[in-house]
Structure 1
Amino acid sequence: MMPSPFLSGIYIYPVKSLAGIAVDRWPVTEKGLRYDRQWMLVDKNRKFLSQRRLPKMALIRTALTESCLTLSAPGLDDLVLPLEATNGETLECEIWHDRCLAHEVSTQANRWLSDFLHIDCKLVYQAEETIRPVDPNYARPEDKVYFSDGFPFLIISENSLASLNRAMNLNYPMPRFRPNLVISGCDSYAEDSWRTISIGEINFRLPKPCARCSVPTIDPETAESGQEPLLTLSRIRKWNQKVYFGQNALHDNTGVLHIGDQVSIHKTGPKQPPIV
């Protein structure tokens, strides 16, 4: 008999598309996990940058203390930045189809990142008072998010990855898929049918499966790209010309998540994507 589902992993990504951080407990704010993708890199046209365009971004590590965000990259001294809101220039930045306001962090940060990535770029920060709404096709008017692609959370179950690894005959680690919340104690792809769940004291809605891009093909240790997992996902998880792995999620309330929190499934529906 399968044990009750529980939260087995929490990951935050302070800077969009840079390396993430595994934590044992973490606060959830109105925009999602605290500091999760509150920073972002933009190019000279103020468009967001990601590993899709610059795989080398995977090599920049992030670390958080109570007062600082630290970036580390091979061959460079660490860059230490204050967590408090910056008074830098306000920029209108573009992330997918959204335009939102952000603050430039510092010329020092811009220079450090531009030197490592060999591209003219800036580090920007989203102030707490800035409102970036979630796609109204899937969200409520009050739902908001930092600089994630579209939703504040990505949920993946441990057994879904185990099943995918068997299909690939590989052993990819979970961080390669950049989830926020990892669930153990459920069947593989059980999350495909979840609609509303609670994890500890926080309630979640799962309106849409996550269509995957090229980022999981990038080895986070080397920044080198391969064909997997997209090759196998296109065979076993393809629908309407896209491949899917994991579920996007929105939250109804704030609180604190802890590793080991019980996961309760309140409402299920047809599998999304509708793959048998």
Structure 2
Amino acid sequence: MILDQILIYPLKSGKGCSLSEAIVHPWGLDGDRRWAVVDERGDNLWLGEFPRLASVAAHATAEGGLRLAARGMKPLTVPPAAGAATPVGFSGLDKAVLADDAAHAWFSELLGRPARLVWLDDPGRRSIDPAHGGLPGEVVSFAWDAPLLLISESSALALDGWLAEEAAVRGEDPPGRLSRVRFRPSVIIDGAEAFAEDRWREVRIGAVPFRVSEICDRCAVTTIDPETQETGKEPLRTLARHRKWDGKTWFGIRLVPREPGLIRVGDPISVH
């Protein structure tokens, strides 16, 4: 098995960036989900409710700010966040740092409602929810429930096959390869048997060890096309027919780093 792809999402709910290598911190990959969009109360404006966030390309600047671009919007360079600390509604975190007013106005225009951009100045402040497998001392960025999410290409190919079968039953054209970005993975591996990851407890990518905190339950975010932001019923509908138990639908596993380090595309994967 090898590491096939690495992705980070500088803005939570924004577009992913593919990398050839990445530094692994206790809270996740370097540059991953340190920025997020919240409402006036500090509650997360998430992709499932605001699909247009998936159109936002966000790239970190050398100064520590963020470059933003989205269809129909003027590009914006956000300086390093230096505003006041504001309460936020993320589990395990009480506050984050406000970006500048121009960033708030940009996201408010994008979403058609009041919005603010916030920066997680110290990811070591946000603990992983014990309800999602977090242990004392484990931390996470603005990512959901774990520092990294792993999916297997073999499992994704199995899902592609199920989707093609469902389309044939309905007399529709085959849907083709499903974008893996729908699942918001941090790492995509190749060479495992489909859904073998369900049974893993430990994963080593290159020299970096990880603990599997839980299998990942999937939500409506998977039904948003990352390119068009159109929503539908797939792949969640078909996935639920094959991968639903305990009232939830499952795909991929969540990882917590046991040690910091560097991972590269092509690294060998070992598991137990």
Do both share a fold (TM > 0.5)?
A: yes
Deviation at 1:14, TM superposition (A): 0.9
Map of 2:113 onto structure 1: 119
Deviation at 1:99, TM superposition (A): 4.0
* Superposed CA offset, 1:245-273 (max 9, x none): 100110111111100011011x2xxxxxx
**Equivalent residue runs for 1:156-195 within 5 Å:** 156-169=151-164, 170=175, 171-195=177-201
C-alpha separation in 2, matches of 1:242 and 1:166: 21
Map of 1:253 onto structure 2: 259
Deviation at 1:69, TM superposition (A): 2.3
Deviation at 1:140, TM superposition (A): 2.5
- Unaligned 5+ segments in structure 2 are 165-174
- Unaligned 5+ segments in structure 1 are 268-276
C-alpha separation in 1, matches of 2:6 and 2:124: 25
TM-score using structure 2 length: 0.91
- Is the contact between residue 124 and residue 140 of structure 2 (CA under 8 Å) also seen in structure 1? no
Compared CA separation, residues 151 and 129, structure 1 to 2 (3 A): closer
Map of 2:69 onto structure 1: 72
Structure 2 counterpart of 1:221, which letter?
Answer: E
C-alpha separation in 2, matches of 1:143 and 1:48: 21
**Equivalent residue runs for 1:10-89 within 5 Å:** 10-67=6-63, 68-82=65-79, 84=80, 86-89=81-84
Residue of structure 2 aligned with 1:242, choices 243, 248, 251: 248
Structure 1 counterpart of 2:12, which letter?
Answer: K
Map of 2:172 onto structure 1: none
Runs of 4+ in 1 over 6 A off after TM superposition: none
Structure 2 counterpart of 1:6, which letter?
Answer: I
Map of 1:224 onto structure 2: 230
**Larger strand fraction of residues:** 1
Quote the sequence identity (%): 35
C-alpha separation in 2, matches of 1:57 and 1:197: 31
Give the secondary-structure state (helix, strand or coil) at the position aligned to 1:256: strand
* Superposed CA offset, 1:162-212 (max 9, x none): 000110013212112110011111111111111001101110111211110
C-alpha separation in 2, matches of 1:207 and 1:101: 25
Structure 1 counterpart of 2:112, which letter?
Answer: H
Deviation at 1:130, TM superposition (A): 5.0
Residue of structure 1 aligned with 2:214, choices 195, 204, 208: 208
Structure 1 counterpart of 2:148, which letter?
Answer: F
**Larger helix fraction of residues:** 2
Deviation at 1:54, TM superposition (A): 0.6
- Is the contact between residue 25 and residue 257 of structure 2 (CA under 8 Å) also seen in structure 1? no
TM-score using structure 1 length: 0.90
* CA RMSD of superposed structures (Å): 1.4
- Is the contact between residue 101 and residue 130 of structure 1 (CA under 8 Å) also seen in structure 2? no
